């Protein structure tokens, strides 16, 4: 008989791709979504798997809800992808972020400990935990230095996973994943914000867009490949934490330049600081403006991951790199608009 998996945060980017992967492997997939007046299943619809996942109303703010769910569906594997995942919002809602992104992990682990400690557990940890980086590139052993309430909450979840593994012998793995993007990325994150805006500008549906710190660098990979790494971690003989990245980093500015380049627009930069603008070299039109409202009280300037442990022990390597990723995203947004 196939295995049963439960995914918290099934309506998110990774939840959709992970559901698709597990279904292709013959899993019975249960997806937890939180109650909203209008549920948001667009990603699962885009992947054409909405009818293949069994949805359950599960909020990781509610321990009893989690316990009853695990008793009912008896999962072999639980993937905890639910989080208040937007770093910028965590500065405005630090308490809520802590409740969901940090204590939420405790609730899921407690439910596992109570219902069946043999359930395998994946925790979605983040490269944001490295924050003000203490080593370049970052590896599993690099000391952490979180720079936002989100990153601090993720660090709590990371250590709690290790703690439950060591204290209760729970098969818990923490995946320290660097930024991974796709056409299913939420529109508030910088890559999708740019791919969507560039596609709209190209199609004449928008004149310009506003951006924050363009000099931040990220190690951006393709979400569809990263969820494979999550699954691989839970198939190992022993639980361990792994870092997934591409080992390449690029600035937000480079992302913007390549996105425009893909649609045949050459962008040049004029001015500096908050007065810097991105100009269409051919028409002279202003296409990019800086808006300080997108600056963060604490910034993560650059992230670069060394995924050699995952490569050696899981056999995981990313295939899609920066330029192809930008093109996949802009292309899909062009198709959505036309
Ligand atoms: P995402 O698209 O923002 O999805 C987050 C999911 O969490 C959504 O399904 C959301 O539901 C759900 N959620 C939020 N609060 C909840 C609650 N109280 N109870 C139940 N579900 C709740 O994030 P993602 O990009 O797929 O990332 C998946 C996980 O990996 C997150 O934990 C994120 O922090 C972490 N991570 C992501 C990256 C990355 O680059 N994508 C890198 C490292 C780690 P709604 O649809 O109702 O909002
Ligand atoms: O796209 P972002 O919002 O992603 P960020 O902060 O790196 O977080 C994402 O990746 C983490 C993994 O490292 C995840 F854990 C987390 O859940 C999330 O998925 O911002 C990327 C960079 C930042 O430096 C930000 O300051 O882009 C910069 N940026 C510049 N202008 C902007 C903007 N970010 C956003 N969202 N919007 C802007 O207008």
Between the CA of 246 and the centroid of ligand 1 the distance, in Å, is: 21
The finding on whether 91 has its CB within 6 A of some atom of ligand 2 is no
50, pLDDT greater than 80? yes
Please work out whether the CB of residue 189 comes within 6 Å of at least one atom of ligand 2.
yes
- pLDDT, average across residues 112-125: 98
The answer to whether the beta carbons of residues 261 and 202 sit under 8 Å apart is no
Reported as a single tens digit per residue, the pLDDT across 302-330 is 999 999 999 999 999 999 999 999 999 99
- What pLDDT does 96 receive? 98
pLDDT at 229 over 80: yes
Residue 281 clears pLDDT 80, i.e. is over it: yes
pTM for this model (two decimals): 0.98
Residue 297: per-residue pLDDT = 97
Average pLDDT over residues 248-267: 98
- Give the model confidence (pLDDT) of 195-211 as tens digits: 999 999 999 999 999 99
1: pLDDT strictly greater than 80: no
- Rounded average pLDDT over 146-166: 98
CA–CA dist 311, 174 (Å, integer): 16
CA dist 121 and 108 (Å) reads 9
In this prediction, residues 257-265 reach a mean pLDDT of 98
How many Å apart are CA 145 and CA 133, to the nearest integer? 7
Pocket of ligand 1 (CB under 6 A): 8-9, 11-15, 32, 34, 36, 40, 59-61, 81-85, 100, 124, 126, 177, 179-180, 186
Look at residue 165 in the predicted model and tell me its pLDDT. 98
Rounded distance, CA 135 to CA 33, Å? 37
Quote the CA–CA distance of 290 and 15 in Å, as a whole number.
32
Mean pLDDT of all residues belonging to the chain = 98
> Is pLDDT above 90 for 213?
yes
Above pLDDT 90, what percent of the chain?
98
Q: What is the pLDDT of residue 39?
A: 84
Considering only CA atoms, which of 30, 41, 97, 23 is closest in space to residue 66?
30
């Amino acid at each position: 008989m196939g295995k049963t998996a439960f995914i918290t945060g099934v309506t998110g980017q990774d939840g959709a791709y992970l559901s698709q992967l597990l279904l292709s492997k013959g899993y019975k997939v249960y997806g937890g979504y939180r109650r909203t007046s209008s549920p948001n299943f667009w990603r699962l619809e885009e992947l054409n798997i909405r009818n293949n996942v069994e949805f359950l109303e599960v909020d990781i703010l509610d321990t009893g809800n989690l316990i009853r769910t695990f008793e009912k569906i008896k999962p072999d594997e639980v993937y905890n992808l639910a989080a208040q995942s937007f770093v910028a919002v965590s500065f405005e809602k630090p308490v809520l972020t802590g409740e969901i992104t940090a204590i939420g992990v405790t609730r899921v682990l407690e439910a596992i400990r109570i219902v069946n400690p043999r359930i395998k557990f994946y925790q979605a940890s983040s490269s944001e935990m490295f924050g003000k980086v203490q080593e370049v590139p970052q590896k599993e052993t690099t000391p952490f230095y979180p720079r936002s309430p989100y990153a601090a909450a993720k660090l709590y979840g990371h250590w709690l996973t290790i703690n439950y593994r060591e204290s209760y012998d729970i098969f818990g793995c923490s995946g320290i994943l660097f930024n991974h993007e796709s056409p299913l990325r939420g529109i508030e994150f910088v890559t999708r914000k740019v791919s969507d805006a560039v596609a709209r500008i190209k199609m004449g549906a928008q004149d310009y867009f506003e951006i924050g710190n363009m000099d931040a660098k990220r190690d951006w990979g393709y979400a569809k490949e990263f969820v494979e790494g999550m699954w691989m971690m839970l198939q190992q003989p022993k639980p361990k934490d792994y870092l997934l990245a591409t080992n390449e980093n690029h600035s937000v500015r480079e992302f913007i330049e390549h996105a425009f380049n893909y649609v045949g627009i050459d962008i040049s930069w004029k001015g500096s600081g908050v007065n810097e603008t991105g100009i269409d070299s051919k028409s002279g039109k202003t296409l990019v403006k800086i808006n300080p409202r997108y600056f963060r009280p604490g910034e993560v300037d650059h992230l670069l991951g060394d995924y050699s442990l995952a490569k050696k022990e899981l056999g995981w390597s990313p295939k899609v790199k920066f330029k192809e990723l930008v093109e996949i995203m802009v292309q899909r947004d062009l198709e959505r608009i036309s």
